[in-house]
Amino acid sequence: MSKIRHLRALQAFDSAATHRSLSRAAEELSVTQGAVSRQIKQLEEYLGVKLFKRTSTGVEKTLAGDKLHLMTGQAFTLLEKGLIEFVQPKTNKSLTISLTSSLATKWLVPRLSSFRAQNPQVEIFLDTSDELIDFDISEVDAALRFAIPENNGLFWEQLTAESLIVVASPNLVTDKTLPLTPKEICQLPILVDDFDDRWLDWLAIVGHDVSGNYLKPDMRFKDSTVMISAVINGQGIALARELLVADDLAEGLLVRLDDVQVPLDRSLNFVCRQRDKASPNLVKLRKWLMAIQ
């Protein structure tokens, strides 16, 4: 395997880019400022681009420097995590779970205390992100995903099918009798989740004509939690995932406006590496997740 050229220069560059200062980089690396400056100059000559421009307060990255800093930051972080595993192996009593912030906030976290009560020895870390994690490079043990199962070498287990329902704050419909007719629903302010915009599917189920200004969104959202919060605050109605609004319905913060369910092709799935599916802690987690449906 060939060695990475200019490794020390890359380290000097990454430190200077992080601190925006050659002197602070020198202090961090326990070398002189001149040494840092020479290493960065050698790197610039090798790459054929300028990485920094000097300012009155230090240095500022160029576009090329910004691009390289993104790469060095990721590379050194990955290397550091790998080294930590040698001196501080991950305990088999911990579980790192990847899931979206909306699923964590609206569904998992309110229920997680029961899992912790049953398994007090298991340490839980929630890695919340809307990005799909890569199990080949991530330290995540399992993921909860709204998705269509893929034949990608991972272990997939469906936890529950999902559907969308029309919900609103009870304060928004105090003068109406539930359930509402399709025409009454279409006349209310409509909030839309860009990830689950299925109002046309709802119209097809109820057999309502889409003529006129029906279903013109009043607001659009990229975050389901933010949209549900807006609905709770009476800003409009929404087609929301039944799983995410179950607690709000039970607490009376939301009401269903009709009895229609719009089925989704995606379901909520438990995902992990094939080699890990029989791990005792993951088995406990899977059984608990199935039991709380």
Percent of all residues in the chain with a pLDDT value above 90, rounded to a whole number: 73
At 215, the pLDDT band (50, 70, 90 cuts) reads: confident
Residue 195, pLDDT score: 86
pLDDT, tens digit, 9 for 90 and up, residues 264-283: 999 999 999 999 999 999 99
- Tell me the C-alpha distance between 21 and 15, whole Å: 8
- Tell me the C-alpha distance between 194 and 174, whole Å: 28
According to DSSP, the β-strands at 52-54 and 59-61 are antiparallel
Residue 168, pLDDT score: 99
Residue 208, pLDDT score: 74
Stretch 81-91: mean pLDDT: 60
Stretch 177-198: mean pLDDT: 93
Residue 240, pLDDT score: 98
Residue 90, pLDDT score: 53
Q: Say how many Å lie between the first and final Cα of the chain, rounded.
A: 50
Stretch 221-230: mean pLDDT: 96
CATH of the structural domain 162-266, one choice from 3.40.190.10, 3.40.50.2300, 2.102.10.10, 3.90.1660.10: 3.40.190.10
Q: Which of 205-214, 215-224, 249-258 has the highest mean pLDDT?
A: 249-258
Residue 1, pLDDT score: 36
Alpha helices in the chain (DSSP H): 7-19, 22-29, 33-47, 63-87, 101-103, 109-118, 182-186, 199-206, 224-232, 242-250, 280-291
Q: Which whole-number Å values give the CA distances from 131 to 125, 127, 136, 146, 177, in the listed order?
A: 17, 11, 15, 12, 41
According to DSSP, the β-strands at 142-147 and 94-99 are parallel
Please say whether the dihedral angle defined by the alpha carbons of residues 98, 101, 104 and 109, taken in this order, is positive or negative.
positive
At 2, the pLDDT band (50, 70, 90 cuts) reads: very low
**pLDDT score of 3 more than 70:** no
Cβ 65 vs Cβ 14: under 8 Å:
no
CATH of the structural domain 7-87, one choice from 2.50.20.10, 1.10.10.10, 3.30.365.10, 1.20.200.10: 1.10.10.10
Neighbours of 222 (CB within 10 A): 10
Higher pLDDT, 279 or 80: 279
**pLDDT score of 214 more than 70:** no
Stretch 124-149: mean pLDDT: 90
User: Domain residue spans in the chain?
Assistant: 7-87, 162-266
Stretch 235-253: mean pLDDT: 98
Confidence (pTM):
0.68
Percent of all residues in the chain with a pLDDT value above 70, rounded to a whole number: 93
Residue 138, pLDDT score: 85
Higher pLDDT, 215 or 105: 105
